[in-house]
Chains A and B, each alone.
Chain A
Amino acid sequence: MSPAANRPAAAERSAGPLSPHLQIYRPQLTSVLSFAHRLSGVALGLYSVVLVAWLIAAAAGSTPFSTMQTAMRSPGGQLLLLAGIFCFFLHLCGGIRHLFWDAGYGFELTSIYTSGWVVVVASATLTAIAWFAGSVL
């Protein structure tokens, strides 16, 4: 019997049950971090526009540069900066975790949860350290 004979016809297949959608599942550390990695990556893409704008402002002269610095020191600018720093460390730590997976390490369920919590705690700690260092200097 050919493999095709085991498969239902197209009409029958479309009427059959679909695999459950993502919203059906209770959020888990694994799925939340997976989505957070993509989301922080896209967010960092938007922050890279700010980085380029900062370089252009610096090249344009001291007046545009100080306008940019003033905007970044405003409460809204500071909030955006803090969120950006957290996105950076989350994507950095999560990225290192992904590189270990790509190399074939850390696939046991216990390792996946341990590395996941390490990513959460490390990104929060590094964000706090960077913020503190930036405000002191």
Chain B
Amino acid sequence: MAAKPIRSSVGRAAGLGSAREGVAQWWAERAFAVALIPLTLWLAVSLIKHSGSDHASVIAWLRSPWATLLVVLLLISLFSHLALGLRVIIEDYIHSGAKFAVLLVARFLCFSLCIAGILATLRIAMIA
């Protein structure tokens, strides 16, 4: 018979398991998801309105302060939510040594695309 453990059952179980960390990422993914509901619906309506527009009127629309702000907020929320979601999927399906590399590439791509989108939007708002 094994020696009677000194620590209580609760004491041994507390602090272990998946809940020890990751709550912040779980919350952030949902917070960005909530932000994306109005932001993407606004973009969808705007893009439908401009589906027949030429370059000049699209630029005029993107240059308006509200459009610039909302596109930038959308890009930040979109790529943050995407990065967090891809991380969950990668961690669920890739168990080989490639996991770390794939996680890194996914993060770099999300970050780069986000910055590229923001720069293009600001270029339109300030220079174009």
Chain A residues at the B interface, C-beta cutoff of 8 Å: 1-2, 4-5, 38, 41-42, 44-45, 48-49, 51-52, 55-56, 58-59, 61-62, 65-66, 88, 92, 95-96, 98-99, 102, 130, 133-135, 137
Contact = CB atoms under 8 A, between A and B. Distances in A.
A79 to B, nearest CB: 16
A62 B89 CA distance: 38
B49 interface: yes
A95 B85 CA distance: 12
Interface residues of B, number: 37
A55 B124 contact: yes
B73 interface: no
B48 A130 contact: yes
Interface stretch (B14-22, B55-63, B95-103): B55-63
Interface in B15-69: 30, 33-34, 37, 40-41, 44, 47-49, 51-52, 54-56, 58-59, 62
